[in-house]
Structure 1
Amino acid sequence: MKRSSLDYRQVLTRAVCGRGRKFSQATHAVKPPEQIQSILGAWVINHSFDSTRVGEAIEIRGSYDINIWYSCKGNTKTDVLKETVRYIDQVPLSYYDRQTREGSSVVNAQCTQVPNCVEATISPSGDAIYVRVEKEFAVEMVGETKVCVAVYPVEMAEMDDKEILFAEEEETEEYDELDPDLIIDDLED
């Protein structure tokens, strides 16, 4: 088979056209309803989010609840404080194919590390609790793009890859004769 007998075509297909990842930390100041003595526990629950494409980044809008279990009144009473936090994160695309057809992209976002309370401390004045939360997202953008593929003649439809490779090798130019004096051999030294 000669290389000139190959045709190439552009095929419109859906493919991953963008990918990104972002780890983030945020510190939230939560105001307790009364003076607290100590923090007994802090956790994050009820996480939900949605993602959309904004230029060459993916915007993630979400919310979660911060629950803080604390003691007050001289450590004689405990209570749980709940606060809902809303956030917006921009995840830059480390890989982005600009050849994606406009309006054809679908965004998939996955929370690879759910929001987690890393640290909770009482402010020096005692009127706030600082909660440090970390989370991570991985995003993918799937869209329509063109790929170029080789099209073989119908006669080659039943051949496997090895036969095609050997057929191409058989048709390569053969050298008439090699001059043995041109061969340099380092072993003769």
Structure 2
Amino acid sequence: MNDIREIVTRAVLAKGRKKFKLKETVLVNSDISSVLGCWIINHQFSTELNNKEVVITGQFENNIWYSADNNSRTDVARSTTEYNGTVKVKEVLNDNISDHCDVVARILQQPTCTNALITNDGIEIDITFEVLVEVIGETKMMVNVVSCNHQEDDLDMLENEINEDFLESR
């Protein structure tokens, strides 16, 4: 006999993905000769669901290694970049049965400096990173339950057929 049952489970209700591009100017007190490198570290963020969008708020640290005074000395300029952005999500399931949803965000591409330019104000850097968000909530699903007519004794019968002395007799 087949039965259909409803199961309440947590599932991905909506998904979204966005590539962020930011510009940041890092102030430097000396005469810059060249930019030697740029590292972005300590990325932290939080998310919040707002209707059909996920608001992401975060920050990271910029470390720019540069030379100054006609390449006679080097130094590192440090700054913190804060950002706010929204990621639009597309519904995967529309059967949310609860008022509460969780947002899971993953960084697909960590913040990376893609360009550094010396300006009158300091060093202007271009930063890119990519985020994937999933909205998870409770939903119902229907499953088809097929009754099993096999008896549990089948394993016992198999065990009785095994000859334990087989290896010893050879």
Q: 2 CA distance for matches of 1:63 and 1:96?
A: 30
Matching residue's letter, 1:139 = V
Cα 1:8–1:130 change in 2 (3 A) is: same
1:14 is paired with a residue of what secondary structure? Answer: strand
Q: Shift of the alpha carbon at 1:39?
A: 0.9
**1:39 corresponds to 2:30:** no
Residue in structure 2 matching 1:130, options 124, 133, 149:
124
Q: Shift of the alpha carbon at 1:151?
A: 4.8
**1:142 corresponds to 2:133:** no
What residue in structure 1 maps to residue 16 of structure 2?
Answer: 20
Q: Shift of the alpha carbon at 1:96?
A: 4.2
Q: Shift of the alpha carbon at 1:79?
A: 0.8
Q: 1 CA distance for matches of 2:105 and 2:125?
A: 25
Deviations 1:27-76 (A, max 9, x none): 11122122312111111111111122111122221111111111112221
Residue in structure 2 matching 1:90, options 86, 91, 96:
86
Structure 2 segments unaligned to the other structure (5+ residues): 151-170
Aligned residues: 150
Q: Shift of the alpha carbon at 1:149?
A: 3.0
Q: Cα RMSD (Å) of the superposition?
A: 1.9
8 Å CA contact 1:40–1:71 kept in 2: the answer is yes
Higher helix share: 1
- Identity of counterpart residues, as a percentage? 35
What residue in structure 2 maps to residue 158 of structure 1?
Answer: 149
What residue in structure 1 maps to residue 26 of structure 2?
Answer: 30
Q: Shift of the alpha carbon at 1:9?
A: 4.1
Q: 2 CA distance for matches of 1:87 and 1:102?
A: 31
Q: Shift of the alpha carbon at 1:17?
A: 0.9
Matching residue's letter, 1:108 = V
8 Å CA contact 2:25–2:121 kept in 1: the answer is no
What residue in structure 2 maps to residue 166 of structure 1?
Answer: none
Higher strand share: 2
Deviations 1:112-159 (A, max 9, x none): 110011110112xx222110111011111111012233355xxx3337
Deviations 1:68-105 (A, max 9, x none): 11111222121100000011121111334333134331
Q: 2 CA distance for matches of 1:149 and 1:111?
A: 34
2:46 is paired with a residue of what secondary structure? Answer: strand
8 Å CA contact 2:52–2:90 kept in 1: the answer is no
Q: Shift of the alpha carbon at 1:7?
A: 5.1
Matching residue's letter, 1:137 = V
